[in-house]
Amino acid sequence: MSAGLAPVAVESAFAAARGLFDQITEELASPDAAVLTHSRLEDLLGSRMREVTRQLYQDHLRLRALTEQRLPEVVDAAGAPRTRIERGRSRTLATVFGKVTVTRLAYRGDTVANLHPADAVLNLPAGIHSHGLARLAAVEASRGSFAEACEQINAVTRSGVGHRQVQELAVGAAADIGSFYQALVPAPCTDVTALVVTVDGKGVVIRPEALREATAKAAAAKGGNTMRTRLASGEKLGRNRMATLAAVYDAEPAVRGVDDVIADPDTDLGPGPEPERRPGPKARSKWLTGSVNDTAAEVVTAAFDQAEHRDPGHRRSWVVLVDGARHQLDLITAEAERRDVTVHIVIDVIHVLEYLWDAAWCLHASGDPTAEAWVARHARNLLEGGAEQVADQLHTAARTARLKKNRRKGIDDAIGYLRGKARYLRYDTALSRGWPIATGIIEGACRHLVKDRLDITGARWGLAGAEAVLKLRALRSNGDFDAYWTWHQQQELTRNHQARYRDRLRLAA
């Protein structure tokens, strides 16, 4: 580019935009405008000024075309030179203000594709839609349905993008999220700061062609649905593909006791205020990810990669919070062994309390208020590290009540769970070391990332769209969208332009 044009020539380059602006001022000064309501004025100016802005954009691009000078040498990444130029080569760019035409020099050679260095200066996208439109698509598609995203984008930009285009833009916008987090420098921590990893999963209704092989075979074996107005029994399970989510965060230890978690139901506090409870550890520097495409093992590996990125020397306490699913425990244990890192697995206390409540209803009538105190007593024992003791107490209670087999399922399930998972229920250790004991962060992520968007009524997802939306929602939940977008545009420059030239540094300058 050159600044060699005379001021008169530069001024004339924007004559079209200036003419449109003059038309608007004349229109606003007319008698007809004097009777417009404020909302009509807003609509009028919104429409007219958008065209002025689009014309300014176009005039600027035209000025660039007039001032573009031939480069002394253009050589592609393979070493093939471009020895001829062709002026006036143009392409269309759809922007947030409307469509414009980009005219520039084409550098040509024999049997090779043309190169356009001016495209690199502008960092033009590979397709027709600008990065501004892609950003809008990423935000709106991660917020609501693709149809709603189309409506919102077109209302703001008048660009006329379609449903499929919004989905493709969202998929492209999410392309560099993985590399962005690999390059992100973690926040500094001391060795006493707990490093928490937590994993969970939730099903997403997916199109048949995107189901995992095992799910597709199970659905086919069950046969088709003979009903016309609703799903057959078990059919929803044959339409789901599991999305696995993981979070990694730092937490300064916050030592607590049993009374800080569950009050003693047998202590009469009197009319005064309740004793103050010490708060639990607070999450900071949260990293959240999710995938419909990757297996649970791959997501667990990604979570451990992030944890190791924060603590490469394994000097901190690694706490892994899960809901107790067997396959999660197996994956976490295997990954920890592979990396030779000690992890302290803690099963979510709220999940365990549900087993205690199911056991309570085996011994109490429905709605019996004494059930709450019964659960609280056993929960306090559990928090003191007495999982085996609670299991024995439940067994004794069932025998004392002489419950028949069909009445004691809740108790039997709780006993089996407490004994089978006792090694992961050492809440006494977790509380004394100031670790978290609940999976609220990842459960909240499942609701926010999956249920609130991917599980909306009537949604049936393709794999690429579901994956992109899930990753974009995680990115925005992390608060990293703006930083990522700067990174993404740099990756687009490298991918679409710099990688095509031998001399990347000179091109970038």
Q: Is the pLDDT of residue 78 over 70?
A: yes
The model's pTM is: 0.83
pLDDT score of 413: 95
pLDDT score of 128: 95
Q: Is the pLDDT of residue 161 over 70?
A: yes
- Give the type of residue at 481: F
pLDDT score of 2: 47
194-212 mean pLDDT: 82
Helix/strand/coil for 250: strand
By the 8 A CB rule, do 493 and 487 touch?
A: no
pLDDT tens across 13-29, in order?
Answer: 899 999 999 999 999 99
- Give the type of residue at 261: V
Task: State both tokens at 224.
Answer: 């088709």
392-403 mean pLDDT: 93
156-165 mean pLDDT: 89
Provide the CB-side half-sphere exposure for 361 (13 A, CA).
Answer: 11
pLDDT tens across 251-266, in order?
Answer: 999 999 999 999 999 8
Q: Which of 322, 356, 326 minimizes the C-alpha distance to 446? A: 322
Of 171-185, 328-342, 454-468, minimum mean pLDDT range: 454-468
Give me the chain's average pLDDT, please. Answer: 89
Q: Is the pLDDT of residue 395 over 70?
A: yes
- DSSP secondary structure letter of residue 367: T
Q: Is the pLDDT of residue 240 over 50?
A: yes
224-229 mean pLDDT: 51
Q: Which of 364, 377, 383 minimizes the C-alpha distance to 266? A: 377
pLDDT score of 211: 60
Task: State both tokens at 23.
Answer: 């038309």
Long-range contacts, 158-167 (Cβ 8 Å, 24+): 158/50, 158/98, 159/94, 159/95, 159/96, 159/98, 159/99, 159/133, 161/94, 161/129, 161/133, 161/137, 165/129, 165/137, 166/137, 166/140, 166/141, 167/141, 167/462, 167/464, 167/465, 167/468
- Give the type of residue at 433: R
pLDDT score of 272: 65
Of 39-53, 69-83, 348-362, 494-508, minimum mean pLDDT range: 494-508
329-344 mean pLDDT: 97
pLDDT score of 7: 66
Helix/strand/coil for 505: helix
Cα–Cα distance between 31 and 35 in angstroms, integer? 7
Of 90-104, 201-215, 256-270, minimum mean pLDDT range: 201-215
Residue by residue, DSSP assigns 65-119 as HHH----S--BBTTS-B--EEEEEEEEEEEETTEEEEEEEEEEE-TTS--B-HHH
Cα–Cα distance between 157 and 95 in angstroms, integer? 8
Cα–Cα distance between 463 and 455 in angstroms, integer? 14
Residue by residue, DSSP assigns 279-315 as P-PPEEEEEEEEESSS-HHHHHHHHHHHHHHH-TT--
pLDDT score of 209: 63
Handedness of CA 172, 176, 181, 184 (dihedral sign): negative
CB atoms within 10 A of CB 261: 18
The model's confidence at residue 44, banded by pLDDT at 50, 70 and 90, is very high
Q: Is the pLDDT of residue 91 over 50?
A: yes
The 3-class SS string of 49-74 reads: HHHHHHHHHHHHHHHHHHHCCCCCCC
pLDDT tens across 267-298, in order?
Answer: 866 666 777 899 999 999 999 999 999 999 99
The model's confidence at residue 203, banded by pLDDT at 50, 70 and 90, is confident
Cα–Cα distance between 226 and 224 in angstroms, integer? 6
pLDDT score of 226: 52
Q: Is the pLDDT of residue 423 over 50?
A: yes
Q: Which of 172, 89, 102, 181 minimizes the C-alpha distance to 133? A: 172
Name the pairing type of β-strands 240-251 and 98-108. unpaired
Of 328-332, 446-450, 499-503, minimum mean pLDDT range: 446-450
Helix/strand/coil for 205: strand
Phi, psi of 101 (to 5 degrees): -115, 130
Name the pairing type of β-strands 318-322 and 194-205. parallel
Task: State both tokens at 25.
Answer: 């001022």
Q: Is the pLDDT of residue 319 over 80?
A: yes
409-429 mean pLDDT: 95
Q: Is the pLDDT of residue 468 over 60?
A: yes
Cα–Cα distance between 57 and 60 in angstroms, integer? 5
37-48 mean pLDDT: 94
The model's confidence at residue 234, banded by pLDDT at 50, 70 and 90, is very low
By the 8 A CB rule, do 390 and 421 touch?
A: no
Provide the residue ranges of all domains of the chain, joining segments of one domain with +. 1-65, 68-184+480-509, 191-267+277-448
Task: State both tokens at 292.
Answer: 């419909």
